[in-house]
Structure 1
Amino acid sequence: MKNLTRKGIYRKVESNEIDTKAAIEQLSFKSTHISNSKEVDETAGFKLSKGQEALWTVYKLFPDVTAYNVPMAYRVNSSFDPEAFYQALQAVIKKHPSLRTVFRDDKEQGVIQFILDSLEVPVFQIDLNEDSEQTLVSSMRGEAYKPFSLEEGPLITAYLYCLEKRTSFTLDQYSSHYF
């Protein structure tokens, strides 16, 4: 499996030739061995763009506004490994600095964005086996529109809803404030 492309790994998972956990390990290995051509000191603060400054102002004036939340839901109708999902999410967060970004108001420099060295994003598991699909939708709507803290992070959340033994819904959302 060493020389497979990402597409090749995905095809093997779809055809059940390899399990999801092995695929995630292989994909994680590939992503950690890709070097960026541009080295950046991720601990240094970065000034905000004009668009980010405008969004920061809206956030400070109306901290409970969820207009920039981007909820997404996916239905999985096969066996699902919550631990593999958790590990995959952590690998994505480790790879993409924008998902580890927080914003701080510095008296001298103004608002600065910082990239955290590490950030663990929990996957909240909610068991709705005895409840209806209407309860699922209501619960997902409630979670989808909770405000994010731009100062504390994370700017992404993940929920795993279980309705039946083999049906899972994941609700992933992120704040588009950092774009």
Structure 2
Amino acid sequence: MGTCPLMKTTVQLIPLRYGIVDNPALDPASEVAMPYSLGARPLGIRLLRDGWLYVIEGSSGTLSEYRIEDGLVSAMLWQGREVFEDDREAPIHEPRLIYAKTSTLYVTYSEVPWTAKKCQQVLSSTSERNHFMQAVDLSKAKCDTGGPHLLTPDMTEQHLLLN
């Protein structure tokens, strides 16, 4: 029996998305809480498409911008409390999503990079942040069941392999 990784002070995240499941028999809703349901087909778990991932760490107000390629985080392009430039292409750090397990994160995905103005909009306005980004409370994660918008490694592997 292994040690629960949530006994550590930080958590490493692998970003995934909700997406339509073609085969209703593969619907994970009995094991995974979905944010909403569709009438025609159920939602499932998918890798991210190529694009950009934005994460604001709630207590520090720090925005991190990541590039996503082939479903994987390929580069961290920005990290800070203010964004002034639209051109943020050069990697600045290793592309790891590691956060304190007590953090509340605000996360969103975009197929196109956000402008500096859009970044500042969600950084400076709580209502805009809540509108455009998904809140994820890492303190609610459980080793065996995950949490709201959080899956365990075993759950992730199972639902990605099924789809």
After TM superposition, the score normalised by the length of structure 2 is 0.23
Q: Comparing both chains, which one has the higher relative contact order based on Cα–Cα distances under 8 Å and sequence gaps of 6 or more?
A: 1
Which structure has the highest strand share of the two? 2
Which has the larger Rg?
1
Higher helix share: 1
